[in-house]
């Protein structure tokens, strides 16, 4: 559990540092910060995608790869995600009712607008892992109530 807390602290500091560096308080400045956080998560996801599935046979089906994301969640957050749904057309929804990175912001609705800053890294983490496993993806997050989150993942096999 101490590892998760250290990761949460590091993540909070990354978000705070990138937010403090924004000289442009408009949407363009925040967009750059989110892009940097997402890119950092992407690179971390690539590394995890290389290391975690070593004993697993190659993934051929999208659903198998997304099921692997449940294992990734356990490796990163030391907890299971709460759900994985699909429309069987390349769109998946990963749901966690208590995202560890959102728990510090779960004090009230006033922090709901800050949620994208705290989820950009995780979106990149998922996208990077999927890319390493041979699947291109678009990962977005949505938060209706803190600290719950849904990650929508649109996947296609890399050609």
**Main-chain dihedrals φ then ψ at residue 133, nearest 5 degrees:** -85, 5
Sheet holding 135-142, edge to edge: 83-86, 91-96, 149-157, 135-142
pTM, 2 dp: 0.84
pLDDT at 119: 92
Predicted pLDDT at 150: 95
Q: What is the pLDDT of residue 11?
A: 79
Q: Report the C-alpha gap between 156 and 88 in whole angstroms.
A: 12
**Cβ contacts of residue 52 below 8 Å, gap of 6+?**
68, 71, 72, 75, 129
Q: What is the pLDDT of residue 131?
A: 93
State whether residue 28 is helix, strand or coil.
helix
**CATH label, 2-157, candidates 1.20.960.40, 3.30.1380.20, 3.10.20.30, 3.30.420.40:** 3.30.1380.20
* Integer Cα distance of 67 and 107 in angstroms: 31
| Location of structure tokens 């969640």 | 73
Question: Phi and psi dihedrals of 26, rounded to 5?
Answer: -80, 180
Q: Look at residue 125 in the predicted model and tell me its pLDDT.
A: 94
| pLDDT for res 141 | 95
Strands (E), the chain: 83-86, 91-96, 135-142, 149-157
> Residue 3: what pLDDT?
73
pLDDT at 153: 94
Mean pLDDT by 10 residues, the chain (159 residues): 73 78 57 87 92 72 84 89 88 92 70 84 94 92 90 83
């Amino acid at each position: 559990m101490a590892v998760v807390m250290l990761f949460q602290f590091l993540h909070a500091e990354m978000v705070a540092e990138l937010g403090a560096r924004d000289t442009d308080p408009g949407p363009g400045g925040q967009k750059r910060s989110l892009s940097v956080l997402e890119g950092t998560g992407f690179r971390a996801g690539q590394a995890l995608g290389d290391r975690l599935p070593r004993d697993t046979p190659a993934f051929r089906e999208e659903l198998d790869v997304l099921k692997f994301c449940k294992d990734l969640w356990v490796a990163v957050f030391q907890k299971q995600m709460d759900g994985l749904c699909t429309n069987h057309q390349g769109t998946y929804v990963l749901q966690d009712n208590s995202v560890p990175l959102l728990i510090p912001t779960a004090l009230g609705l006033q922090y709901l607008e800050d949620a994208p800053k705290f989820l950009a890294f995780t979106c990149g983490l998922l996208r990077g892992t999927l890319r390493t496993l041979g699947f291109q993806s678009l990962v977005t997050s949505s938060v209706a109530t803190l600290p719950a989150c849904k990650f929508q993942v649109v996947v296609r096999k890399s050609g």
